[in-house]
Amino acid sequence: MKIYKLKGEIREKIGTNEARRLRRKGFITGEMYGAHEKNIHIKINAKDFQKFLKEVKKETVLIDLEINGQNYKCILKELQRDFIMGFPIHADFQILHEKEMITVSIPVVLIGIPEGLKLGGTLEHLKREVNIRAIPSKIPGHIEVDVSKLRIGESIHIKDLKLPEGVHIVENPEETVCTVLSPKKAAEIPSEKVVMEEVPSEEKKEEEEKEEE
């Protein structure tokens, strides 16, 4: 697994107003936590963090995070983005300890072109991430699945995945990772629809609260 370096600082103040102030100054807020540490409130330069995300893409990576001169080995556990613009605004990091097993989600990457596609089939990727358990040094950036031999009607399940030594999947072994559908079955699957929820304005919220009173 690759190791990336990031640098940040401890946040002396917390709260919504302070977080907004830091974002206006070009930072994202963050939280660090571990099995043996108290939560640490941090801030990271937004441009540095954007660069980090661009480099790692969807890989799961180890992070050497320097905070006020002290280094921590971490993984990015959760990322919050601006609802409208999509840029990152807050990140949670889990502090790792080399000999302690952790559970982490890693991407599933399909490689190859299934034989079934040549006969008109459609490849459906159902499981894009899996939860694995391992010590930090054994965590793979992703799991590759060769789908080139899949014919129409055939599937690959969790139990079929090949993992590095010392890595264990904590998922239902019978769950389907991917499958090749026949043309008829593929046509029966409805296309996804995105439902946009209305975000009430502050004035509307106040009116609704008065009505409830």
For residue 145, what are the β-bridge partners? Answer: 110
Given a contact cutoff of 8 angstroms between Cβ atoms, the answer to whether 73 and 95 are in contact is: yes
What pLDDT is recorded for position 186?
Answer: 55
| Cα torsion 53, 54, 58, 61: sign | negative
Q: What is the pLDDT of residues 121-170, one digit of tens each?
A: 999 999 999 999 999 989 999 999 999 999 999 999 999 999 989 999 99
Mean pLDDT, range 108-131, rounded to an integer: 94
For residue 41, what are the β-bridge partners? Answer: 31
CB atoms within 10 A of CB 158: 17
Q: Which are the contacts of 48, defined by CB distance < 8 A and separation ≥ 6?
A: 6, 7
Please state whether the predicted TM-score (pTM) of the whole model is above 0.85. Answer: no
What whole-number distance in Å separates Cα of residue 208 and Cα of residue 202? 10
Q: What is the DSSP letter of 198?
A: P
Residue 9, CA distances (Å) to 12, 82, 165 in order: 9, 22, 36
**Would you say residue 116 has pLDDT above 90?**
yes
Q: What is the pLDDT of residues 25-78, one digit of tens each?
A: 999 999 999 888 889 999 999 999 999 999 988 888 999 999 999 999 999 999
